[in-house]
């Protein structure tokens, strides 16, 4: 008798295709039916902590900016608490969603997040992780969304003790995970899909 495993075959992998913005950021694509796209605003009122802007560009292996990429982030608030029903350590900032979605600018490919600098959060074994932002990237030609993290270059002491960063085999590549401060509260974090500057991606 044929088993269930024989009847259900894995579907072929698909890339995000040229229509990811239509489905995920319809206002950006010019066809939105709501006031704004999901994830476009992370601060819904007065927030606690240091307000920052994260800007960056996704580059391919030829150092060409991708203009059809979409980036999502998920992070803790300034106190290290997540806006989630699973958060048991305290009450997260009610005016901060912790989740954002940004398409690349049609001219430059640059993504932008108006957010707050996250606080440290505990690793499963209790050690504290350095302030960081989880990142998910999709674009035409990427079969499965890529996962990475943004750490902050001005958190050197916390980064040195971070239990995730310490497990990375090729420590020389750690700078690919660092966002660097610029004027006006901006942090720059570019993502390189291939090449000598390739960003570290995580198998999550």
pLDDT in tens, 33-76: 888 888 999 999 999 999 999 999 999 999 999 988 999 999 99
Give the integer Cα–Cα distance in Å for 47 and 44.
8
Domain boundaries, the chain: 14-192
The chain-wide mean pLDDT, for the chain, equals 91
Distances (CA, A) of 73 to 13, 41, 76, 187: 23, 12, 10, 14
pLDDT on residue 31: 87
Confidence of residue 204 (pLDDT cuts 50, 70, 90): confident
pLDDT on residue 96: 98
Q: 102 or 141: whose pLDDT is higher? A: 102
The overall pTM is greater than 0.85: yes
> Are 47 and 41 spatial neighbours (Cβ–Cβ below 8 Å)?
no
pLDDT on residue 1: 46
Confidence of residue 196 (pLDDT cuts 50, 70, 90): very high
Of 51-60, 134-143, 172-181, the poorest mean pLDDT is in 134-143
Q: 139 or 65: whose pLDDT is higher? A: 65
Q: 177 or 68: whose pLDDT is higher? A: 177
Answer whether CATH 3.30.465.10 is correct for domain 14-192: no
Across the range 19-23, mean pLDDT stands at: 73
Residue where the block lists tokens 């819904």: 44
Of 12-26, 146-160, 171-185, the poorest mean pLDDT is in 12-26
Distances (CA, A) of 96 to 10, 84, 92, 135, 168: 38, 11, 8, 17, 31
């Amino acid at each position: 008798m044929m088993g269930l495993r024989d009847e259900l075959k894995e579907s072929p992998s698909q890339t995000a295709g040229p229509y990811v913005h239509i489905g995920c950021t319809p206002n950006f694509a010019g066809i939105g039916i709501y006031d704004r796209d999901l994830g476009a605003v992370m601060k819904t009122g007065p927030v606690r902590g240091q307000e920052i802007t994260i800007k960056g560009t996704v580059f391919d292996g030829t150092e060409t900016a991708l203009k059809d990429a979409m980036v999502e982030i998920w992070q803790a608030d300034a106190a290290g608490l997540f806006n989630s029903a699973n958060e048991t350590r305290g009450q997260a900032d009610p005016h901060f969603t912790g989740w954002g979605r940004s398409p690349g600018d049609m001219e430059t490919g640059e993504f932008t997040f108006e957010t707050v600098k996250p606080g440290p959060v505990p690793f499963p074994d209790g050690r504290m992780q350095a302030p960081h932002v989880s990142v998910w990237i999709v674009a035409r030609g990427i079969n499965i969304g890529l996962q990475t993290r943004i750490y902050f270059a001005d958190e050197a002491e916390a980064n040195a003790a971070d239990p995730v960063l310490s497990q990375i085999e090729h420590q020389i590549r750690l700078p690919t995970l660092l966002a660097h401060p610029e004027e006006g509260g901006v942090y720059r974090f570019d993502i390189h899909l291939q090449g000598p500057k390739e960003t570290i991606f995580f198998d999550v």
